[in-house]
Amino acid sequence: MEEKILLVEDEENIRKFTRINLEREGFKVIEAETGELGVELAQSENPLVVILDIMLPGIDGYEVCRILREKIPNIGIIMLTAKTQENDKILGLERGADDYLSKPFNPKELVLRIKSLIRRLEKPVENSNIITHGPYQLDLYSKAFKKDGVYIELTPTELSIITLFMKNPGRAFTRNELLDLNWGEEFVGDTKIVDVNIRRLRSKIEDNPGKPKYLETVWGTGYRWKKD
């Protein structure tokens, strides 16, 4: 079955160019030229991944990302931006994007990013064990994460990261290791994407994100999940 991709981009030439390259890779591409239509199609067509431009007529890509994360937590989102400022990329990640790519981009790189994200979305489950640590419970079969019995919605990337940590308590992972293990070794980008996802995770799972009790920083190295 073809994997469905939603492309939300207002520039027709970019949409056409991107669609042709994605279809060559076997993807089924649905197009939207406004943020409002993108939200509508994401809910009606159930795409696996959304390629989302930031600068859109009507509601912009940041707001579309926020809405989609709220309505469809498990959808994959890659943001496109022509802006070079680092803060714009970070803002997209903080709104819930899994990845970002700056324009102009190589279509082969976009394909690699999509395939890497799909692997995180469809990562096979090893068994049906439930990992419990402190107030947290992670069901590897249903991919459900709970704190004190209350379900917490995580993005595919956040779930991939927390699964890695909870399966390896006490182990310190460098930012580059987290990039390779969660985004794939072919990922081309910097480690700030790791820091933003960690910050986002802490805001969801820690009682005091500014003083995390479980998702610890290992200064000069990276991060680890605290071991009892």
Six-digit token string for 79: 């943001």
Residues 69/155, Cβ–Cβ less than 8 Å: yes
216: which 2 tokens?
A: 């610890």
Closest CA to 222 of 180, 188, 189, 186: 180
Q: How confident is the model at residue 104 (pLDDT cuts 50, 70, 90)?
A: confident
Least confident of 91-105, 112-126, 165-179: 112-126
Residues 143-181: pLDDT tens digits?
889 999 899 999 889 999 999 999 999 999 999 999 988
Return the structure tokens found at 26.
């076997």
Beta-carbon contacts of residue 95 (< 8 Å; ≥ 6 apart): 62, 65, 66, 69
The C-alpha angle with vertex 194 and arms to 161 and 132, in degrees rounded to 5, equals: 25
What phi, psi does 218 have (nearest 5°)?
Answer: -105, 100
Please, are residues 109 and 188 in contact by the beta-carbon 8 Å criterion? yes
What are φ and ψ of residue 106, in 5° steps? -80, 125
Residue 121 has pLDDT above 80, yes or no: no
**Does the predicted model carry a pTM greater than 0.85?**
no
